[in-house]
Amino acid sequence: MKVSESKILMSSLFATGIAGIVSEYVLATLATYFLGNSVFQWTIILSIMLFSMGLGSRLSKLVNNYVIEYFIGAELLLSFLTSMCALLVYSLMGVTDYIEIFIYILAVLVGLLIGLEIPLVTRINGRYHDLKANISSVMEKDYYGSLIGGLFFAFIGLPYLGLTYTPFVLGMVNLIVASLLFFKFSRRLNKTLKKVLLSAIIGLFMVIVFGIYYAKPIILFGEQSRYIDKVVYSQQTKYQKITLTASYNHHILYLNNSMQLNTMDEWLYHEPLVHAPMLLNSSKKNILILGGGDGCGIREVLKYPEVESIKIIDLDPDMTNFGANNPVFKELNNNSYHNKKVTVLNQDAFIALENDSQYYDLIIIDFPDPRSIELSRLYTKEMYSFCRKRLKMDGIIITQATSPYFQAKAFYCINKTMQSAGFNTLPIHNHVQSFGEWGWIIGSKIYSNDQMKSTLSSIKKLPINNTKWLTTDALDMMTKFGKPVGDTTSLEINSIHNPVLFKYYLKGTEFNQSFYE
């Protein structure tokens, strides 16, 4: 009898470890999507959780009576918060501009409950084991549960269930275990509190079922509140949130709530990205595109009949599948993914380049902006050094480089970092209506800045006639810059061990405002 009660207690603590850690991971992921800066958000959320666990443990000293009842009550509250955390965040998205405060409060509450439960279950379990065995058993089950929760979130929850249903699965598991605990200890519970707890269990089952049924419309409401236009597609992948909105005759693609492309004017971005380096290249046979999962870059490259192969390296298979098969993008990129010249490798570009043995005539880098340490890693000296090794001697490389005006320090940091990797560079820019003034950096092993600029300026006729915007005059115009916005002489090189680029990027707007004051 006693062994059985001890086992159900340990099962409850194991479930607490799973549910608690998963709810914190969900909150950290949501904070990253909505607020950006993943390293900061994960650090803050987990630090708040651990601190709150300490507070919860301290509060447990105030519980002198009804220890089992308090423990079951804490389990039920944890089940509720675990199940509803994502839904609550999305529900409030449309009514507050301070969602980060609510996310941090949820992290505090989850931490408090976990911290409260561990001392309580230790006291309850003390009647079944001596101190040594009791403490080790309690901590062991909680830590094991945290590991299982982490593995579940990484390999099953986020990639397959998404942030919509992962919390409900874990919350329901915790509720079931708490219910078993309630019925196992029912004879020892205070009669009044027993009725309250039973009502809470029944009510919580109903709330979770209600939440599962209405999760999609509630989350869609939260998603829609972030965008002016109608959300017509939303997918949580293993790596990012893909959202597509529609308005009148155009669509806008967002990744993690950051605009990536507007079908109204995307050629103002993709034509400079592809044709400027292509026109500098004498050989155009083997092309490598890093990122660019929307497929528009492939579309532009395929306008050159001499191209023999195009390799796309993009981390997220759901993104390349979206670009290849979503009706809007399939039409936008002229079904480019299904061209026999195109191969797709879904792998981390940094690792893929490090292990690659092929040489390329042109490398096109079309990653999202470096707004986090993870993305900043793709703009490092080490990354460009790998590119240089894979580039033929007379080959050309180009990378999108954010705005030379709104993120001036980031733009010129990318330029300086490419130079440190052994490239001669040529910055270019164009006005993209959806983004404002935008820039790219072209790099070459053998051609100087003046040589590349002279080549583009001297082109009298484009070798292709199906561009929407690009002309020979535009090619010449794109190489012309005024003075940099502010002082860019003391910029540091972005590297793995000194990731400064994302800081420059995040401070870009602040930097420009202070410059113009």
For tokens 């298979």, the residue is 317
CA distance 485 to 429: 14
Contacts of 495 (CB under 8 A, 6+ apart): 380, 381, 382, 417
CA distance 10 to 403: 55
The strand pairing partners of 211, in sequence order, are none
Contact (CB, 8 A) for 362 and 396: yes
Rg (CA), the chain: 28
CA distance 204 to 236: 27
CA angle at residue 174 from 173 to 180, to 5 degrees? 95
The strand pairing partners of 258, in sequence order, are 255
Contact (CB, 8 A) for 163 and 86: yes
Which stretches of 25-183 are assigned E, i.e. beta strand? none
Query: b or e along 444-465 (b: 16 or more beta carbons within 10 Å of the residue's beta carbon)?
Result: beebeeeebbeebeeeeeeeee
Q: In what order do the strands lie in the sheet with 250-255?
A: 230-236, 241-247, 250-255, 258-262
Selecting among 366, 369, 394, 476, the annotated active-site residue is 366
Can you say how many angstroms the Cα of residue 446 is from the centroid of all Cα atoms in its chain? 37
Contacts of 437 (CB under 8 A, 6+ apart): 403, 404, 405, 406, 429, 430, 431
Is-catalytic flag, 366?
yes
What string of DSSP letters covers 389-453? HHEEEEEEEEEE---TTTTHHHHHHHHHHHHHTT-EEEEEEEEETTTEEEEEEEEESS--HHHHH
Using CB atoms within 10 Å of the CB of residue 249, give its burial: 0 to 12 exposed, 13 to 18 middle, 19+ buried. Answer: exposed
User: What is the helix (H) or strand (E) element at residue 26, kind and residue range?
Assistant: helix 2-35
- Which residues are catalytic, by number? 366
